[in-house]
Amino acid sequence: MCFIDEIMSDNDCKCTVEVCFSPKLFSEILTKEDFTVVLVDILRATTSICTAFHNGVHSILPVATLEEAKQLKEKGFLVASEQDGKKLDFADFGNSAFSFTREMISGKTLVYCTTNGTRALEMAKTADQIVIGSFLNLSALTEWIITQKRNIVILCSGWKNKFCIEDSLFAGALTERLLLQPGFTTNCDSAQAAMDLWHIAENDISGYLEKAAHRHRLNRLGLDDVIPYSFTLDQTNVLPVFDGKEIVDWK
Amino acid sequence: MCFIDEIMSDNDCKCTVEVCFSPKLFSEILTKEDFTVVLVDILRATTSICTAFHNGVHSILPVATLEEAKQLKEKGFLVASEQDGKKLDFADFGNSAFSFTREMISGKTLVYCTTNGTRALEMAKTADQIVIGSFLNLSALTEWIITQKRNIVILCSGWKNKFCIEDSLFAGALTERLLLQPGFTTNCDSAQAAMDLWHIAENDISGYLEKAAHRHRLNRLGLDDVIPYSFTLDQTNVLPVFDGKEIVDWK
């Protein structure tokens, strides 16, 4: 149930929205009870995970270390693993959404190890629920959150623990949609800032992304083909949730 | 001297500007050599420190713990100490800029212990230089940084390690002024975001601050009288720098 900040009637009960700009700041969040973490790594893990479920993956097994990923590869699992944006040699996939085609992954379990995303998932395990967010499932995610009536912490994976623009834009877009609902409120400066950045960017996301360092990093690696897709809203209704061991589709 | 990112001629040599939204992210900064940290805690430590030097304080001795502050009080020092915005009983001052009047502090050494500011100062000790920034000394600080020709990390104290709007606005204002100079560049998403927030806020700072959680926290404590002053640009030319032990005026 939602968090009651002060003595108020049931009708005034509001769920809080808090934004965390880096996994390293997650231990500082003010929301402590009955909360859902929305995990965000727009370029590229959470965009790719939403794509994988849209294309019928059965489940995704996130692992935090390369050693675990290699061991599971030897046991016959399909493995996606990248470091600094590049696919590692032993893996079947990097983490480009475009590699997770229906014919490659439908009905299968995918082992997933990425620089940023998996680390953030490990840190978010104190939450009551963890759900995967991306622009691809923004509307479906928003509607689901509204039905859940829990406090929300939007956890940006960032880039090597640093603030990054692309995750912050998503945090702003989701915060704005939630605050349009009477049941949600915020007292979080990060949420306010994220909404303002989203307001600046929303009508020309490609133009705004010219400012993002990671966009240029991917460009140098020849991996920026996925960027326009990653910022295309509402391509899917999947709701990937972490059940404590695997990521599965809520539906 | 300034940081050379790639092979380039001396004329192209650029100093980098990086913004760190929380002391907890300071260990993640990319700038590793020849850098000056600009320490920021607009509400209220760095605003108050600039005021104290403007009013003639000889030096400020920052301490990280209440125990140290109490011991130095017993030895006869003037002590400023607050927790969560409130002056502590044993101290002579809280950290309101208005309490550091010329008659109280001129020529004296002040022991200073605050929730956010001192902790950030401790963390910044790996820098080659540490300078205190506030809107009060923005122009003097900008001019001094330009003459120093070092890389710059703007370290926001935040509120309890969280991102805060008021420090980020200052980071944006300073970044913008530095990037107008040919000798400075940035590849930092936090710096870009801070500039965008500053652009939104600069023509109506009071209005924008309505979004800031700490502004409301101070209001509840009856400590918000200092806010308009804290956002008044260029009230002083002081340049408080930390010499490893004390904060002294550069001039």
Q: What is the pLDDT of residues A97-115, one digit of tens each?
A: 999 999 999 999 999 987 6
B197 and A CB contact within 8 Å: yes
Q: Is residue B191 part of a domain?
A: yes
Residue, of A238 and B87, whose pLDDT is higher: A238
Token pair 């929205």 is at which residue?
A: A17
Question: What Å distances lie between residue B5 and A52, A164, A211, A228, B88, CA to CA?
Answer: 38, 20, 18, 29, 47
Is B210 at the interface with chain A, CB within 8 A? Answer: no
∠A186-B19-B98 over CA atoms, to 5°?
A: 70
CA–CA separation, B197 and B209 (whole Å)? 11
Parallel, antiparallel, or unpaired for β B35-40 and B129-133? Answer: parallel
Q: What is the CATH number of the domain that holds B108?
A: 3.90.1560.10
**Residue B160, in any domain of the structure:** yes
For an interface test with B, which of A30, A189, A202 has the most B Cβ atoms less than 10 Å from its Cβ?
A189
**What is the predicted ipTM?**
0.92
Does the structure show a pLDDT above 80 at B10? no
A184 close to B (CB below 8 A): no
Q: Point out the residue among A189, A212, A216 whose CB comes nearest to the CB of B213.
A: A189
What is the number of structural domains in chain B? 1
Chain A contacts in chain B segment 3-62 (CB below 8 A): 21-22, 24-25, 28, 30
Residue B178 sits in which domain range? Answer: 12-249
- In angstroms, the CA A187 to CA B159 distance is 13
Contacts with A211 from chain B: Cβ below 8 Å:
189, 192
Domain-located, residue B156: yes
Residue A176 lies in a domain: yes
Q: Do B25 and A188 touch (CB under 8 A)?
A: no
Rounded to two decimals, the pTM is: 0.93
Q: A197-250: per-residue pLDDT in tens?
A: 999 999 999 889 888 877 777 777 776 788 899 999 999 999 999 988 899 999
| Residue B7 included in any domain | no
Phi first, then psi: give them for residue B110, nearest 5 degrees: -115, 130
What are the residues facing A7 on neighbouring strands?
Answer: none
Main-chain phi, psi angles of B68, to 5 degrees:
-60, -45
Question: Nearest CA of chain B to the CA of A21: how many Å?
Answer: 8
Q: Is residue B4 part of a domain?
A: no
Q: Are A161 and A169 in contact (CB under 8 A)?
A: no
**DSSP character string of B54-107:** HTT--EEEE-SSHHHHHHHHHTT-EEEEEETTEEPTT-SB-S-GGG--HHHHTT
- With respect to residue B148, please indicate whether it lies within any of the assigned structural domains: yes
A83 within domain boundaries? yes
Cβ(A250)–Cβ(A144) under 8 Å? yes
pLDDT in tens, B28-57: 999 999 999 999 999 888 999 999 999 999
CA distances to A52, B115, B139, B169 from B97, in Å: 55, 15, 19, 19
CA distance B100 to A9: 44
- For residue A95, pLDDT beyond 90: no
How near does any CA of chain B get to the CA of A59, in Å? Answer: 33
How many helices and strands in chain B, by DSSP H and E?
10, 11
